[in-house]
Amino acid sequence: DPYGMGTATEVKNQRLRENSAFFTYTYLKAIEKLRQKKFKKTEKGVPLEYFSWERVIVDEIHECLCTEKDNLQLDYFKEKNRRASRELLGISQKDTSGRPLVYRKSIFGLTGTPLLDNSDRVIELANLIGCTYIIGLASHWRKLERESRRDIFLQQFLEPKQSREIRKAIYAKCQEYLKVACCRNTTEKELEGIEKKEHVVVTNMTAEEKENYLKSQHGIDRDQRGLGVRPEDFDRSAGHDISIFLTQNSDLPSRGKALVDTCRQILVNDPTTKIIVFTDGRIGSGGHARKYLEDSELGCSWLETGESADAERDNQIIFFYQRPDVTEEDRRRPRILVLHFAHAAGLNLQSECYNLILFTPLYVGDGGVSGNPVDDASTEQQAIGRVYRPGQKQKEVNVYRLEVRGPNNEECLDGMLIRRNTDEKTLAETTNAATEDDEE
């Protein structure tokens, strides 16, 4: 099918685009008619869209911005919520006077998850916040919400690709916009006096674990397998499956023992504290961590994802880790909460938690050049930000990274990814804080 309608998923996606475009058109037309009406001062139930506001302040503004495909599956980016918030803020309406929420002076967006890791996200934020149009908007993905199947086909296959000079100009304009319009990292003053201490807990795999580790390198030639194999060595087009490798690396018994030992040591030093463990749910890492903790006497609580998620249950669990123990029942509950990186935004756990463990270093990709270190490091920093944030009562916040090495202390996947995700330049890019040297 030349219009890309060959699968059920593609048909569904096009139907969503058409429904979205139709709803937007109908909604904006209804607002035009609404604003032509006259209401008495005593009338009640007048819609928000009728008024003009002095200022509009949007909290958690990242909820209405579309993310990368992998992030669309995450629980905290609910599809219905995202669509509704985009419509209310009028993100597809260029004329601000025709948007549902009209502001007379200014609009502010607040977020700890800015999603500014590429030019598309910056362009989108500029459109929403200031109705500012940065170079490159003409080819922005947002057009797809209104375009037909034929338009999409022609744009994908017939339009010329952007040249390096155009991409360079777009990046420069995006950085210029961020410097002028965004106020970043203002929480540093509030974190003065609170030290973030990072610890790498090193453990060694057994000979048996090494054998399973090498077997899991699916698709790699046997004579090329080794402890030093990197994600870049996997080639999906050649039939390599890196997910088997990542899953096996997560489920190493030596990792589980290191997790249990680390938790025990933390609780020996402070029996009343509560510990947060972040895992990669895409590869079943959360289940692996839970298994090792439940097999010990420590136990744990966890949040579900996907269809099995229960919002009421999850809120009750989170509430326990946000407040001090009050009853004997509170004191008997597990001191450890296992989360997925999907929960790395929107949770405030700093009031009662100051110890956080990264069960595995994060890698999202299929091997080769598909991985994005900036995205992965950013997600890890968001996870750490659940406890290292304003309102933290302790003077020290401890972040533990588990690193599994070979039987003879050889560096393996963990060591490579930890160095990658903690690289200073990579971390600078996660906050869009390029130095003058970088810009030159």
pLDDT of 268 > 90? The answer is: yes
Using pLDDT thresholds of 50, 70 and 90, give the confidence band for residue 229: very high
The pair of structure tokens assigned to 278 is 């972040």
Share of the chain above pLDDT 70, in %: 78
Share of the chain above pLDDT 90, in %: 47
Burial group, residue 288, by CB count within 10 angstroms (0-12, 13-18, 19+): buried
The pairing of beta strand 336-340 with beta strand 52-59:
unpaired
pLDDT of 228 > 50? The answer is: yes
Ramachandran area for residue 196 (φ above 0: left; ψ -120 to 50: alpha; else beta): beta
Average pLDDT over residues 195-211: 96
> Contact 439/399 with Cβ under 8 angstroms?
no
> Contact 128/61 with Cβ under 8 angstroms?
yes
By C-alpha distance, which of 195, 187, 185, 388 is closest to 276? 388
- The Cα 223–Cα 221 span in angstroms is 6
Please write the tens of the pLDDT for every residue from 383-405: 999 999 888 989 999 999 999 99
pLDDT of 91 > 90? The answer is: no
- The Cα 433–Cα 429 span in angstroms is 6
pLDDT at 113: 60
> Contact 301/337 with Cβ under 8 angstroms?
yes
Average pLDDT over residues 311-335: 90
Token pair 């996200």 is found at 121
* Least confidently predicted of 59-63, 64-68, 95-99: 64-68
Which stretch, 68-77, 154-163, 287-296, has highest mean pLDDT?
287-296
Integer angstrom CA distances of residue 335 from 66, 274, 293, 359: 35, 5, 11, 16
pLDDT at 78: 46
- The Cα 311–Cα 385 span in angstroms is 22
pLDDT of 435 > 50? The answer is: no
Give me the chain's average pLDDT, please.
82
- The Cα 178–Cα 116 span in angstroms is 9
Query: Distance of alpha carbon 60 from its chain centroid, rounded?
Result: 13
Please write the tens of the pLDDT for every residue from 106-151: 888 887 665 566 677 777 777 777 666 666 555 444 454 555 555 5
* Least confidently predicted of 256-260, 352-356, 436-440: 436-440
pLDDT at 148: 57
The pair of structure tokens assigned to 166 is 């155009």
**DSSP structure class, residue 422:** T
Integer angstrom CA distances of residue 132 from 58, 70, 117, 207, 240: 17, 28, 19, 59, 44
pLDDT of 436 > 50? The answer is: no
- The Cα 275–Cα 387 span in angstroms is 10
- Helices 207-215 and 242-250 cross at an angle (nearest 10°) of 160
pTM for the predicted model, two decimal places: 0.69
pLDDT at 107: 85
Please write the tens of the pLDDT for every residue from 336-360: 999 999 887 778 899 999 999 999 9
Using pLDDT thresholds of 50, 70 and 90, give the confidence band for residue 53: very high
Go through 80-93 and write b for each residue having 16 or more CB atoms within 10 A of its CB, e for each that does not.
Answer: eebbebbbbbbbbb
* Least confidently predicted of 108-117, 290-299, 416-425: 108-117
Using pLDDT thresholds of 50, 70 and 90, give the confidence band for residue 1: very low
Residue 132 or 177, more confident: 177
Residue 407, classed as helix, strand or coil, is coil
Longest dimension (CA), the chain: 82
Average pLDDT over residues 32-49: 92
Using pLDDT thresholds of 50, 70 and 90, give the confidence band for residue 211: very high
Residue 391 or 158, more confident: 391
- The Cα 31–Cα 66 span in angstroms is 24
* Least confidently predicted of 177-191, 294-308, 324-338, 357-371: 177-191
pLDDT of 28 > 80? The answer is: yes
